[in-house]
Structures are given as C-alpha cells and as structure tokens.
Amino acid sequence: MAKPDDAQSVSTGFRMVRLRPGLEAQHPSLGRQWYRVLDRNDAALTPTPPPGQLWVEVGPRVRLLPADIFELEGDLVS
C-alpha cells in the first residue's frame, strides 16, 4: 500500500532538459528537443521522483526518466 506523500515540491533549479547528444539511438521516443521537468507528478504512486530520476513531460505523457541521460537548460553542450 502506498503512503501519501506530504512533502512540498522543491524547485530543481531548472525547468527544461533535452536528451544528451549521441543517445538518440538508445532512446528513440525522445528527440533532441527541450522537455519540461516537473517537480512532482500527483497522478503517480510516488509523486516526487526518486534520486537520480526526473518527471519529464514527453508529449501528452509524464514519464519518470533517469536524469543522467539529459542535459540541463543552460549547459554548454549542444
């Protein structure tokens, strides 16, 4: 049984991510476009993402994805 998550949303300090260069073949459903990051997903059993993961809006879906496959908005990598 899932416990309710009463934790407040914590700002991650960034709002947009995109797939790191060279990972397109491993993640064909993600293009090299910018995706919005959510602090929490209240529709999920665990609304706040576990360490090392992000709630990312991909099209009409919100997906829990590993943070290390993304570069953050403002990174110099293009």
Is position 77 within any domain? Answer: no
- Average pLDDT of the residues in 45-67: 95
- Average pLDDT of the residues in 20-48: 93
pTM score of the predicted model: 0.74
Residue 15: pLDDT band with limits 50, 70, 90: confident
HSE-up of residue 21 (Cα within 13 Å, Cβ side): 4
- pLDDT at residue 13, as a whole number: 52
Q: Judge contact between 14 and 73, C-beta under 8 A.
A: yes
Residue 14: pLDDT band with limits 50, 70, 90: low
Q: Judge contact between 56 and 62, C-beta under 8 A.
A: yes
Number of domain units in the chain: 1
Is position 5 within any domain? Answer: no
Burial zone of 39 (CB within 10 Å; 0-12 exposed, 13-18 middle, 19+ buried)? middle
Is position 38 within any domain? Answer: yes
Residue 72: pLDDT band with limits 50, 70, 90: confident
